[in-house]
Structure 1
Amino acid sequence: MPVTATARHSAGFDALRAQDPEMADVISGETERQTGSLQLIAAENFSSPAVLAALGSALSNKYAEGYPGARHHGGCEMVDIAERIACERATALFGAEHANVQPHSGSSAVLAAYAALLRPGDTVLAMGLAHGGHLTHGSPANFSGRWFDFVGYGVDAESGLIDYDQVRALAEQHRPRAIVCGSISYPRHPDYAAFRAIADEAGAYLIADAAHPMGLIAGGAAPSPVPYADVVCATTHKVLRGPRGGMILCGPDLADRIDRAVFPFTQGGAQMHTIAAKAVAFGEAATPAFASYAHHVVANARVLAAGLAAEGFAVTTGGTDTHLITADPAPLGIGGQQARSLLAAAGLVLDTCALPYGDGRGIRLGTAAVTTQGMGAPEMADIAALFMKALREEQGTREEVRELARRFPSNSG
């Protein structure tokens, strides 16, 4: 009889336990942490057993610098097939003409996009870090802030929505070489058509950093930047539920520049086990079941956002269109860092984020992982109530969280 992926995983872990019990304990501890708490970090999710099987496959052993049919190493016949499948599935899933699936992360994808389109010193317009921009959108601690001249746009102080008049005015003033649309903490859909129009007026490339909404886009629960952006950068984890990694989509006019910017300019050998796992995830994301999942992610986020608002949190923009929620706990008399610590102690795992106006920090959370576990609107209401119990440090909250998590196992491996 054929050996199942579960049996292979069990046998592999048994071997690890025998050879390296210290590391086996770490992995067992992390598994217990994930199964005994609620993973509400907006950038995290649970990959399927099929994705994990590809990650732990023999493809991890293969060196494959270059691209299918043009490798710098021999023995690449099978990995060439794997990468072609991944690219074909990505272009079909997102309606793009070209895909590069080699970036090791979302940041690597953005770096390659900049390398393909920009030169050091060029001006780039992107969301300011205090308003939700990513490190690769001009942080002085990141390559982006060191190599390029970033100008930041922001959100309206009252609505919390992107101020497109400000974006247009800054583009007219600074004439950037590229405009980046995308954020790590903006819970509404960007107006890609508006960004395209502004970029055209300024003579700029439009780069969409769609790391967060890419899974929603795959499932038809969010608008796609592909028809509007010159280049789309994304991650393959988060809502997409694939392996940790990145990808780039573009048209045929930029395909060669993008490919050369990934390899050999910014990366070496492709991680073929990860590329195979990306292909598996793209295949899963093309199913009706995934489309249903993506819409449930958004529905759950809206219920949870409303529940937090009812409990007294100041939910930014008044809600969400995506998997992502940002909120200020200040009306409850507590800061974002303290709130995160108290919630973590109760098994409610999330992040803090910058707040566009003021000196404090808010909390950032998402519903991708808990939706993968099968939770719905009733559980979102329960989670909002658990937030308040955790912040009041009520006895028994940790056990309630643990019980909720165990009622909905991730089934990820």
Structure 2
Amino acid sequence: MFYLTKDDPELARLVRNEGNRLETTINLIAAENHSPASILEVMGSVFNTKTIEGYPGNRFHAGCIHVDEVENLAMTRGKRLFNAEHINVQPHSGTSANLAVYFSVLKTGDRILSMSLPHGGHLSHGHKASITSQCFDFYHYKVNYETERIDYDQVRKMARSIKPKMIVAGASSYPRLIDYEKMSQIAKEVSAFFLTDMAHLAGLVAAKLIPSPIPWSDFVTFTCYKTMMGGRGGVILCKNIFGKKIDKAVFPGCQGTSAVNLIAAKALIFKLALEEKFVFIQKKTLENAEIMARALMEKGYHVISCGTDNHQVLVDLTAKGISGKAAEDSLMAAGIILNRNVVPQDEKTSGKVSGIRLGSGAVSARGMGKPQMREIIKLMDMALMNQTKKEVIKKVKEHVLALCQAFPIKKAF
């Protein structure tokens, strides 16, 4: 950071501090991961400054010879990796990608059926706090309160009743696999478009460890910085018949110039995702999540749906008498970073957040395995059961630091 230190020592200090925070804490945030150093390099490259309104071969600014190659490379690699017919790599984020899909084939006010946020959905799936709810008429399906899994019969009944123009599958806090074929069938029954948001699952799908939604979906969106381990930004995959509409909805419909440095990072991670090391990390991600879920249940925690099929573990702390916020704060003080999260029961009490969400991606990227997962859950339990005991929290933090030093990020991927 020679130039940054020279130009802005204060900002350089904050960068170093963040790097130190990452190295000395255990990251269990399901929406985060550790990227290869090459991803950080390309995101900080000269591509950061180029303006590229339009698409390769048809730009509205000169000097795009090399960035056209970058975008074409990202598209070619992305389509090959996911076996997709059409791809758009320009969206700034997952929400931008979802908005573009909505506006590509729907009219303002059209009905959309998606997953309720307390039951696992995402803000961009029509939550009242999101602009998406102001543009379209959203209805939400839920999980069964007993099984805590999607009730496909309920989805079908709702679809037949409200006759949505689009059905959305995918979630931000649902630890089970989704039956995309069944969801696709329901969409066809009511002549609805079918969108799958696999933002959290893209890395696992890329490694071919869980079923892909692409054969069953009209549209698939995802981000590249969660299980994909890449840089920021969203991606849209779709069938060829929707390609022109998607491209027009992204630009000029929903955004102007795109970040070429992020498109380059997408091209890079699509290449790295074909390597054995990426697949190995994704396998460990699945294994580690299952181990954490089992260890939590052994200690008496209510794990939503009694386990996991992906990288997420969702825990309802109601029976422990701990709020999600209190748990998040106590664990952060001990060096374990995760987020408070709504659970299905919270739907009945506005503003209540009774759960926490764990993700196994970042710890798997650091090389941690079964012994470390069981140790992490042991340390979590110590911190949660002794929130007011400073000496216990200090002891947990010391163990966390030792664990981090044994598995440094700089040796990851």
Number of the residue aligned with 1:287 = 275
Root mean square deviation of aligned Cα: 1.1
Amino acid of the residue matched to residue 7 of structure 2? Q
Amino acid of the residue matched to residue 235 of structure 1? T
In the aligned structure 2, how far is the partner of 1:389 from the partner of 1:363? Answer: 16
SS in 2 for 1:107: helix
Number of the residue aligned with 2:13 = 25
Amino acid of the residue matched to residue 368 of structure 2? M
SS in 1 for 2:356: strand
User: Conserved in 1, the CA contact under 8 Å of 2:25 and 2:336?
Assistant: yes
In the aligned structure 1, how far is the partner of 2:276 from the partner of 2:400? Answer: 31
User: Conserved in 2, the CA contact under 8 Å of 1:155 and 1:161?
Assistant: yes
Identity over aligned pairs, percent: 42
TM-superposed deviation, 1:29: 0.9
Number of the residue aligned with 1:75 = 63
State TM-score, norm by structure 2: 0.95
1:293-308 maps to which residues of 2 (within 5 A)?
Answer: 293-308=281-296
Deviation string for 1:230-271 (max 9, x for gaps)? Answer: 000110110000101100000110000000000011111111
Unmatched segments (≥5 aa) in structure 2: none
Picking from 9, 28, 31, the partner of 1:43 is 31
User: Conserved in 1, the CA contact under 8 Å of 2:322 and 2:354?
Assistant: no
Number of the residue aligned with 2:232 = 244
In the aligned structure 2, how far is the partner of 1:55 from the partner of 1:203? Answer: 41
User: Conserved in 2, the CA contact under 8 Å of 1:354 and 1:362?
Assistant: yes
Amino acid of the residue matched to residue 283 of structure 1? K
In the aligned structure 1, how far is the partner of 2:381 from the partner of 2:239? Answer: 48
Amino acid of the residue matched to residue 379 of structure 1? Q
In the aligned structure 2, how far is the partner of 1:402 from the partner of 1:118? Answer: 51
SS in 2 for 1:344: helix
User: Conserved in 2, the CA contact under 8 Å of 1:312 and 1:331?
Assistant: no
1:11-410 maps to which residues of 2 (within 5 A)?
Answer: 13-358=1-346, 359=349, 360-391=353-384, 392-393=386-387, 394=392, 395-410=394-409
In the aligned structure 1, how far is the partner of 2:16 from the partner of 2:336? Answer: 20
State TM-score, norm by structure 1: 0.95
Amino acid of the residue matched to residue 370 of structure 2? A
In the aligned structure 1, how far is the partner of 2:362 from the partner of 2:36? Answer: 12
In the aligned structure 2, how far is the partner of 1:139 from the partner of 1:322? Answer: 24
In the aligned structure 2, how far is the partner of 1:65 from the partner of 1:37? Answer: 40
User: Conserved in 1, the CA contact under 8 Å of 2:91 and 2:233?
Assistant: yes
SS in 2 for 1:109: helix
User: Conserved in 2, the CA contact under 8 Å of 1:313 and 1:330?
Assistant: no
User: Conserved in 2, the CA contact under 8 Å of 1:233 and 1:248?
Assistant: yes
Amino acid of the residue matched to residue 346 of structure 1? A
TM-superposed deviation, 1:309: 1.1
In the aligned structure 2, how far is the partner of 1:309 from the partner of 1:329? Answer: 12
Moved over 4 A (4+): none
TM-superposed deviation, 1:177: 0.3
User: Conserved in 1, the CA contact under 8 Å of 2:166 and 2:193?
Assistant: yes
TM-superposed deviation, 1:117: 1.5
User: Conserved in 2, the CA contact under 8 Å of 1:324 and 1:365?
Assistant: yes
In the aligned structure 1, how far is the partner of 2:97 from the partner of 2:331? Answer: 33
User: Conserved in 2, the CA contact under 8 Å of 1:233 and 1:246?
Assistant: yes
User: Conserved in 2, the CA contact under 8 Å of 1:329 and 1:336?
Assistant: yes
TM-superposed deviation, 1:289: 2.0
TM-superposed deviation, 1:310: 1.2
Amino acid of the residue matched to residue 408 of structure 2? P
Number of the residue aligned with 1:6 = none
TM-superposed deviation, 1:288: 2.2
SS in 1 for 2:227: helix
User: Conserved in 1, the CA contact under 8 Å of 2:74 and 2:270?
Assistant: yes
In the aligned structure 2, how far is the partner of 1:324 from the partner of 1:221? Answer: 15
SS in 1 for 2:146: coil
TM-superposed deviation, 1:329: 2.0
SS in 1 for 2:310: coil
SS in 2 for 1:212: coil
Deviation string for 1:142-198 (max 9, x for gaps)? Answer: 111111110000001111000000000000000000000011000011000000000
In the aligned structure 2, how far is the partner of 1:117 from the partner of 1:292? Answer: 38
TM-superposed deviation, 1:357: 1.7
Deviation string for 1:268-299 (max 9, x for gaps)? Answer: 11111110011100100012221221111000
